[in-house]
Chain A
Amino acid sequence: MSNQPTNLQIRNTFDEEFLKRLEKLHIMAQKVYAGQNRAERRSKKIGSGIEYADHRDYAPGDDIRYLDWNVFGRTEKMLVRLYEEEEDISVYVLVDVSNSMMMGQPPKLEYAYKVTAALSYISLSNLDRVSVIPFAEHVTAPMSPVRGKGQIFKVFDFLSQTTIGGATNSKEAFRSFVHRYKRRGPAIVISDMYEEQGFAESLNVLRYYKFDPMVIHIWDEAELNPNLRGDLKLIDCESGRSREVTITRALVDKYRKAHALFMEESENICRTRQIPYFRASIQTPFDDLVLQIFRRGGVVA
């Protein structure tokens, strides 16, 4: 529990093998869910898309390139072709980079980065705008929105260079986020949800500002079954507060129940606010998690 990973270890996450898995994930997503969700994201605006929508009378000032010359030749009426305009959406991935995410073997943050990269890749493949926003006590140097599949490497670079550490203060961080990003869209929160004040109010902030929050709760099975016995001094990795305890089997059982209750409470916070909630153990392959999110639908792809 006390192993502290370094940025160097995190950077090594995005290797060639990882890229192959992302591509495979993308193909699987297209096969299974092709066309299913596209219409939902089609804008009602009529504009300069490529799919024909309707005609209307020419009005002065209209771009003559959109005149339908075939109709004019047959009927001598000046009509303008109208196309449906496809609108890209902004996907925000809020990654918890606090100290608690550095715990675990491998660290939970490494898993969170993989999930972040996978979701970003699929979103970029769908021509959505993707922003990755690391947060701990506040939002730390967010990534500028990127668009296009080729920008995935920018995401990788950003994640590799993100400053990590600090205590979690999601409410303050999300408040900062909503004021910085005016364009609404899905806000995927990837965190272990270890925060003394809880995530309820911070998720409310996202909802209030019309973002569509989704929570991916990262957890480590080792945290549920701590291998601790005897006289110990427990130090909270974020606050630094310590407590002397004598850990017995009975106490570990109580901790296990408390941890299960905490997980349940976290889920309830989301469920009562109709926020999609995914619980992801770092022992689960990240691509399985991403497919699970697709099955659930509504956020990406």
Chain B
Amino acid sequence: MTFSALTLEQFWTLLGAFGGAVVVLYILKLRRRQIRVPFGPLWARVLQTEQTSALFRALKRVISLFIQLCVVTLVILALAHPSIPGGQLTGCTDIGEEKKTDVEPSFTVVAVDTSASMNATDVAGGRFNAALNAARRVLLDRIDGESIMVAGLDTRFRPQSPFSTDVDFLTQQLLRIRPSDAGSDLSVTLAGVRDVLSGKPNARLVLISDGALDQPNDRDVEGLKIVHVPIGETGTTHTNLSIVKLHVRPYLDDSLNYELYYEVKNFAEKPAKASLLLYANPTGRVADDFVRRGLLVRTETLEIPANQSVVGFVPNVEYPGHQLMGKLVAVETDGFNDVLPTDDVAYGLVPERKHLHIQLVTEENYYLEAVLFVRENLSYTRVHPDAFRGTEGFDVTILDRFVPSAPIKGNVLFIDPQGPGPSPIAADGTAALPELTEVDTKHPLNWKVSLVDLNIGIMQKLLPKTSDKVIVRSSEGDPAIVVSETNNLRAVVWAFDIRMSDLPLRYAFPVMIVNTLRWFHQEDDALLTGRRAGADWAVPVSTTANTVTVTLPSGVNVPSPVVDHKAILFGEHMGIYSVVDGDKTLPIAGNFANERESDLASRIVGGEKWAPRTNTVYQRPTPTLIDEWLVADLWKLCLFVALGILGVEWATYHRRWTV
């Protein structure tokens, strides 16, 4: 007997728990309502006529307990959805001429495709459930001497059982296989199958798959017999829409808004209409978190031609936090039914923007104030040089033509540094009308700016130390912009007064300010592309520990090994992962992004299609009505018997308890 709804452990646990509860309750027994009667002997006389045999009276309590335990057992059996594997009851597993005394051993791997395309709903009950049913049929088709291993298969080969001849056990293990959000990689998985079948006689792989896979090459199938159990209709096209790409990034000017890039593909032979819903949730991990508890920030209406993609930008997306989810909802018109929900969701991440507090120390400089004033991600405080008290409490301090006497620390931008204190970089005179010719374009401070034709009236001749880095230099070799880093001070020194140049009139000016502030805070505006589910991810971490903790989309924390400053983890499912790296938490978006899987077209893998071996060894007789009941609906029988026992108990209760 096998259980399809409960494992054997769960069955025994439930039986133990409820059976124990019944026994305990029986021992405690409900206290009966006490009634005083005027003349007890009169009741005794009445009950005398109800007297039954002494043996029955002695057994009455035990019988009641036994009946209750039977009922509990039968109900739990029904819950477990039991079935008797084909023919066991009627003894038809090995019948007649099919029995062989000299059995030749054989080995079969029954592999169920667990890749994302198996989540498609174009087959009644879904492709994956159809695959499990097909796998059951394959197991029931086992012949004498055949050892079977059940396994899952997507980008990896995942054995679920050892080789066994016990069909019940194999069926139980089969039911543990779950679909993933991964794609498929036949080369890798077939290599795994070849390994386990290596040296085994009469080896074969029964692949239960929708065939939305690459055809294996000759090297992959060398020495391997593949029998394919196709799921779904091969050769037909399917209506499926997929988010192929979803990227989100902040604007270069450091505003708090974002820009979104997406690509949606229609795999059907007919055009489709859909809505792309954008949800934000700073703490969301899976689609449900975003849809139920998130904020719907934007909706894009799309019309996608047949077999084509639509690419679009969504500007000025404003949302809290740094996590976004795109969900594609197809308009089900004209028979268009998006059959694969997995690829309708994609996650986007951007670096979290920090709100900076800037101290501007200047007598008066409207250019600087203007460029700081319009930035969304900062607030500034203007301080007169006479009122300067230090840099504490500010993320960045800008000293305009002023250097305090007291030593300073923190992140400081010096603009044309002049006393009363010593400049972080000494100067030796000035240069008139310098021509800037050398710009270190690879330095982040110079990102997206060009200063070659900048006009400067007068500029200090700085004398940088060897540890300082000159990133802009004049044709005379005089440093115009120098970066200096010491233990307590990170400084950027502009050697010229911006009011004595045309820099404030150029686009480069605000960009340079943004670059400088970003450099101080090491913000990375690089696109955080999602990672593809179903693959090993190597996430750079700074910790020196051997493991880091990774929070999966399900919320479960798992340790992950760190190899060469990279945390290695397998992203099986889509969603937001978190890697705890010291005191930082690195978010990772696990996305589907697999056009091959989204193309649900089924095809036969290998050359042979599976068929029951009715003409070889195994033949199942036509099931009788009892067989069908016991095989398919044994739980009904359990409930029926339980109800029958309860009926008898009810009918005889009065008789048994009043004696």
Contact = CB atoms under 8 A, between A and B. Distances in A.
Interface string A89-115: 000000000011001100000000000
Given A1-B35, A251-B46, A244 B40 contact: no
Interface stretch (A51-59, A174-182, A235-243): A235-243
Contacts of B47: 243, 245, 251
A236 B41 CA distance: 8
A121 interface: no
A156 interface: no
Interface residues of B, number: 23
The interface residues of chain A, by DSSP majority, are classed as mixed
B36 A103 contact: yes
Contacts, number: 93
B507 interface: no
Interface string B618-659: 000000000000000000000000000000000001100110
B43 A2 contact: no
Interface in A186-230: 192, 194, 196, 220, 223, 226, 228, 230
A283 interface: no
A273 interface: no
Interface string A234-262: 11111101111111100100110011001
B35 A232 contact: yes
Contact of B34 (A4, A235, A248): A235
Given A231-B32, A245-B658, A1 B42 contact: no
A103 B38 contact: yes
A295 interface: no
Interface string B38-71: 1111111111011000000000000000000000
B46 A234 contact: no
Interface in B358-403: none
A233 interface: yes
B176 interface: no
A254 B654 contact: no
Contacts of B442: none
A231 B658 CA distance: 9
A223 B43 CA distance: 11
Contact of A251 (B30, B37, B658): B658
B33 interface: yes
A1 B42 CA distance: 14
B32 A244 contact: yes
A166 B343 CA distance: 86
A120 B108 CA distance: 107
Contacts of A242: 34
Nearest to B33: A232
Nearest to B48: A258
A245 B43 contact: yes
Contact of A241 (B32, B40, B50): B40
A248 B654 contact: yes
A32 to B, nearest CB: 35
A258 B39 contact: no
Interface string B430-462: 000000000000000000000000000000000
Contact of A233 (B32, B39, B46, B50): B32
Contacts of B44: 243
B391 to A, nearest CB: 84
A281 to B, nearest CB: 14
Interface string A1-29: 11010000000000000000000000000
Contact of A236 (B32, B37, B50): B37
B33 A231 contact: yes
A239 B32 contact: no
B58 to A, nearest CB: 15
Contacts of B50: 251
B32 A232 contact: yes
A248 B50 CA distance: 12
A220 B653 CA distance: 31
Contacts of A246: 653-654, 657-658
Nearest to A219: B38
A187 B244 CA distance: 111
A254 B653 contact: no
Given A231-B33, A233-B33, A1 B40 contact: no
Given A243-B47, A245-B47, A194 B34 contact: no
Contact of B39 (A2, A4, A100, A228): A100
B40 A255 contact: no
Contacts of A233: 32-35
Contacts of B37: 1, 103, 226, 234-237
A228 B46 CA distance: 14
B36 A235 contact: yes
Nearest to A194: B39
A244 B35 CA distance: 10
Contacts of B45: 258
Contacts of A220: 38
A120 B34 CA distance: 39
B42 A259 contact: yes
A196 B45 CA distance: 11
Interface in B127-167: none
A235 B40 contact: yes
Given A196-B41, A230-B33, A247-B658, 9 more contacts: A2-B36, A234-B35, A236-B39, A237-B36, A243-B44, A245-B43, A251-B47, A255-B43, A258-B46
Interface of A: 1-2, 4, 99-100, 103-104, 192, 194, 196, 220, 223, 226, 228, 230-239, 241-248, 251, 254-255, 258-259, 262
24 contacts: A1-B37, A2-B35, A4-B36, A192-B38, A194-B39, A196-B41, A220-B38, A223-B38, A228-B35, A232-B33, A235-B36, A235-B37, A236-B37, A237-B36, A237-B37, A238-B40, A243-B40, A243-B47, A244-B32, A245-B657, A245-B658, A251-B47, A258-B45, A262-B42
Interface of B: 30, 32-47, 49-50, 653-654, 657-658
In the A-B complex, list the 8 residue pairs whose CB atoms are closest, starting with the nearest: A236-B40, A2-B36, A194-B39, A100-B38, A233-B32, A103-B38, A246-B657, A237-B36
